[in-house]
């Protein structure tokens, strides 16, 4: 059962505190890109990515250089997020697709023309579109930098969608180095 949350953020509630931290880190929710569609994939507080020009490249491109991180991802629940959505017969629900795919309703993201395969919670779901990073030969500065806290996760793992989510427990299943 989903428990509705109050409309005002309460910094004493872990989910709200993390969301407030994310907003403090990245005050421009759209990252210089077009306005966010209500059902678009949420954007964690990554930095170094400009949504007005950066496009998604897909996990296979990321894995070419980041082999250890890709191996960790392959055995994580993020890798099978789309399959879980299909099993729940919810892959046509736009309110679910955003968190179970990568870049849904963002320029070059899941479901857009010429997008790479972006089902599942791939690298760019958390780190942002990687085209500039790839074009710079992987020397894209702070590309996709995320805080080492729950603020990186509560874009999708909200009070309403995952009330039992605990960052310290969940991180063990997705921990990776770049």
8 A C-beta contact, residue 113 and residue 94: no
Concatenated DSSP letters for 103-123?
A: STTSTT-TTSTTPPP-BSS-H
C-alpha span between 116 and 178 (Å, rounded): 21
pTM of the full structure: 0.85
What pLDDT is recorded for position 160?
A: 85
C-alpha span between 80 and 85 (Å, rounded): 9
What pLDDT is recorded for position 1?
A: 38
Query: How far are the Cα atoms of 99, 156, 171 from residue 159, in angstroms, in the given order?
Result: 14, 9, 17
Concatenated DSSP letters for 12-24?
A: TSHHHHHHHHHHH
Residue spans of the domains in the chain: they are 34-174
Residue-wise pLDDT tens for the chain (178 aa)? Answer: 344 455 455 555 777 888 888 888 888 878 888 888 889 998 888 887 888 888 999 999 999 999 999 999 999 999 999 999 999 998 889 999 999 999 999 988 998 888 899 999 999 999 999 998 999 888 766 677 888 888 889 889 988 888 888 888 888 878 776 5
């Amino acid at each position: 059962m989903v428990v509705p949350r109050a409309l005002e953020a309460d910094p004493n509630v872990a989910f709200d505190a993390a969301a407030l931290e994310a907003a403090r880190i990245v005050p421009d929710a759209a990252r210089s890109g077009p306005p966010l569609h209500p059902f678009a994939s949420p954007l964690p507080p990554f930095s170094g990515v400009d949504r007005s020009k950066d496009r998604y490249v897909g996990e296979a491109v990321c894995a070419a250089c980041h082999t250890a991180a890709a191996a960790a991802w392959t055995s994580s629940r993020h890798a099978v997020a789309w399959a879980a959505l299909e099993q729940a017969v919810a892959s046509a629900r736009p309110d679910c697709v955003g968190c179970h795919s990568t870049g849904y309703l963002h320029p070059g993201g899941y479901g857009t023309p010429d997008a790479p395969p972006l089902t599942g919670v791939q690298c760019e779901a958390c780190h942002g579109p990687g085209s500039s990073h790839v074009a710079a030969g992987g020397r894209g500065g702070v590309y996709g930098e995320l805080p080492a806290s729950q603020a990186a996760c509560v874009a999708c793992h909200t009070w309403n969608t995952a009330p039992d989510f605990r960052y310290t427990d969940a991180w063990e299943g997705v921990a990776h180095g770049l």
